[in-house]
Amino acid sequence: MKIRTSMTVATVPLPELERLQQQASQWQRLSPRQRIPYLQAVKVLARRHATEWVTLACEIKGIDPQGLWAGEEWTTGPLGLILKLDHYLYALRHEATPPVRRWRTAPTGQAIAEIVPRNWQERLLWFGVKAEVWLQPNHPPTQGSAYRNPPPPGVAVVLGAGNITSLCLADALYQLVVANRVALLKMNPLLAPLTDCFRKVCAPLIEAGFLEIVEGDAALGEVLCHHPLTQHIHITGSHHTYNRLVWGETAAEQALRKARQQPKLTKPVTAELGNVTPLLMVPGEWTESELAYQARQVASALVHNASFNCIGAQILVTAAGWPQREAFLNALKAQLQGIPSRPAYYPGAIARYESFLADYPQATVLSPSGEGTIPWTLIEGLTPTANPRIFQEEVFCGLLAEVQLPVNDVPAYLATAVTFVNERLWGTLGCSLIIDPRTEASHAEALERAIAQLRYGAIAINAWVSLAYGLGCTPWGAFPGHRPAAIGSGVGVVHNSFLFDYPEKAVVRVPFQLPVTPPWFYGHRTLPQLAQAVIDIYAGGNPLAWLSLLTAALRG
């Protein structure tokens, strides 16, 4: 087989890339404090255009803008961007080396930076939530190297995702603020209706020549990536997209190039490429209230955004000897039976769902399915030696599988579960671990050992791991170690607003049961109002917004 040479169209001049290249040096000449007005203006514009943004997002996803599901678009859309901007502004005010609240050392010898809460505002906003970043072993706890040793002035091309609407803008901002490069964002065609709104939000950066936002298909993306003016590429999507771009169109071409170590694309590429996401249910003795709460938590991790999330719940890991296993599964099924099916807006989802059903005929359909929707579906009682497809492929739709581990006690469960998810499940992006406070107190050492051994870029204790994304400050990306020829969940991170040079994993800790409904829970009755109050706090400076926030939180 002959390996094709790079595309000749990659040399076609693109005015957007040329404008960015002309301003790349100017961006690097700006001090951190000189960049603050640009980001502050974007934050104000995100608030101004928030309603337009959410309305368009709802239209794309088949959601009633005034309905229950619209709250998701408020929290993951304009609010998600505003939180990240606030953290970046904090970093720039501290000359790209934001202070860490507290440092400590892990039993492994790694440095751990405790970063949330930063202040009284976050103590109120993220009640009971703590976040820390574990740095890579044998690396210094340094920050902001792209400012101390800037890369050659150049353009980063960002190939945007099509599911979470703020994600593509956040990826572009990461290139500007943390990686110290100007950026061109190519919108995913699914989110193209948002392009004009995003240009209005990012107008200060676009008018200064530091950012461009374009529309186009996969062919344009390939042209942009191969263009001589492109210095770096960032992808959020699937490993199939990464492999086609880096190694070739067909599986045969990819295999040959990998064997010869001749990638089609030789430029630096960072990527976030999804995950088969596990939720580890540590056995304990739970009250009826706790069973219902955690069942709602797991259901929420499945149904959010119609399960079109790179860390949507996929594998529920239980202990076969847990006396409350059946009670928990019954509570989970009751939750899912009460949640309406959602439009399957993401291309290919229905065919993928039907393909998995064919491989797992024991699956139980728990909700009615109408035309163009996918019902919530549960596969119970799998063992670690079951048909491995669901362990190795991202479902990316409303299908959840339960895996029973042949253990009875907590230490055995933690040790077995860590080995199972590390070695049998595809991906290293994120996982959740649910443990009640009584069990945690009795097995604190085993829990901390499990956290240290889990090979995931983000770990959430007693919360869906999406919270690590939603906080807007913790590094988000695969666990370090993937290679281009075996890319897994990807390489590199985004967000990372504390500008750590060598992050390994983020760990978010949440109380087992919060006194108010968490914003990531399905059925939060006042989520749009809650999100708008937080937006007003962060982008409007309105002190009365705290009253709106309190009211929405208590009524949720």
Q: What is the CATH number of the domain that holds 432?
A: 3.40.309.10
**Residue 217 maps to a domain:** yes
Per-residue pLDDT tens, the chain, 556 aa: give them: 333 333 334 444 589 999 999 999 999 999 999 999 999 999 999 999 999 999 999 999 999 999 989 999 999 999 999 999 999 999 999 999 999 999 999 988 999 999 999 988 899 889 899 999 999 999 999 999 999 999 999 999 999 999 999 999 999 999 999 999 999 999 999 999 999 999 999 999 999 999 999 999 999 999 999 999 999 999 999 999 999 999 999 999 999 999 999 999 999 999 999 999 999 999 999 999 999 999 999 999 999 999 999 999 999 999 999 999 999 999 999 999 999 999 999 999 999 999 999 999 999 999 988 899 999 999 999 999 999 999 999 999 999 999 999 999 999 999 999 999 999 999 999 999 999 999 999 999 999 999 999 999 999 999 999 999 999 999 999 999 999 999 999 999 999 999 999 999 999 999 999 999 999 999 999 999 999 999 999 987 777 888 888 898 899 8
Q: Which residue has the tokens 């990372």?
A: 496
| Domain final residue, candidates 238, 272, 306 | 272
Domain residues for 361? 277-462
210 & 287 share domain: no
Radius of gyration of the chain from Cα atoms?
A: 23
117 preceded by cis ω (within 30°)? yes
Question: 405 with 282: CB under 8 angstroms?
Answer: no
Count Cβ neighbours within 10 Å for each residue of 254-263 and write b for 16 or more, e otherwise.
bebbbeeeeb
368 & 450 share domain: yes
322 & 355 share domain: yes
Q: Which residue has the tokens 């339960």?
A: 402
**Residue 173 maps to a domain:** yes
Contacts by residues 451-456 (CB-CB < 8 Å, ≥ 24 positions apart)? 451/507, 452/106, 452/107, 452/108, 453/418, 453/422, 454/418, 454/421, 454/422, 454/505, 455/422, 455/428, 455/479, 455/481, 456/421, 456/428, 456/429, 456/430, 456/431, 456/505
* Residues in contact with 392: Cβ distance below 8 Å, sequence separation at least 6, in sequence order: 276, 425, 426
**Residue 299 maps to a domain:** yes
The per-residue pLDDT for 93 is 98
CATH number at residue 40: 3.40.605.10
**Residue 23 maps to a domain:** yes
148 three-class SS:
helix
**Residue 296 maps to a domain:** yes
β pairing state of 130-135 and 111-116: antiparallel
248 & 283 share domain: no
169 & 304 share domain: no
Sign of CA dihedral 426, 432, 436, 437: positive
The per-residue pLDDT for 13 is 54
Q: Which residue has the tokens 């009751």?
A: 334
**Residue 546 maps to a domain:** no
3-class secondary structure for 46-58?
HHHCHHHHHHHHH
Dihedral in degrees, nearest 10, Cα atoms 394, 395, 400, 402: -40
Alpha-carbon distance of 431 to 428, in angstroms, equals 8
Cβ count within 10 A of residue 310:
26
Task: Provide the number of structural domains found in the chain.
Answer: 2
Alpha-carbon distance of 429 to 465, in angstroms, equals 10
DSSP conformation class of 413: H
237 & 341 share domain: no
β pairing state of 342-343 and 130-135: unpaired
| Domain final residue, candidates 213, 238, 272 | 272
310 & 359 share domain: yes
254 & 402 share domain: no
Alpha-carbon distance of 309 to 485, in angstroms, equals 24
pTM to 2 decimals?
Answer: 0.96
261 & 306 share domain: no
Q: What share of the chain is helix, strand, coil (3-state, %, to 5)?
A: 45, 20, 40
**Residue 62 maps to a domain:** no
402 & 316 share domain: yes
Alpha-carbon distance of 432 to 301, in angstroms, equals 10
| Domain final residue, candidates 436, 462, 488 | 462
Question: 328 with 299: CB under 8 angstroms?
Answer: no
388 & 450 share domain: yes
The phi and psi torsions of 111 (rounded to 5 degrees) equal -80, 135
**Residue 81 maps to a domain:** no
284 & 398 share domain: yes
The per-residue pLDDT for 100 is 97
Structure tokens at 460: 């959430």
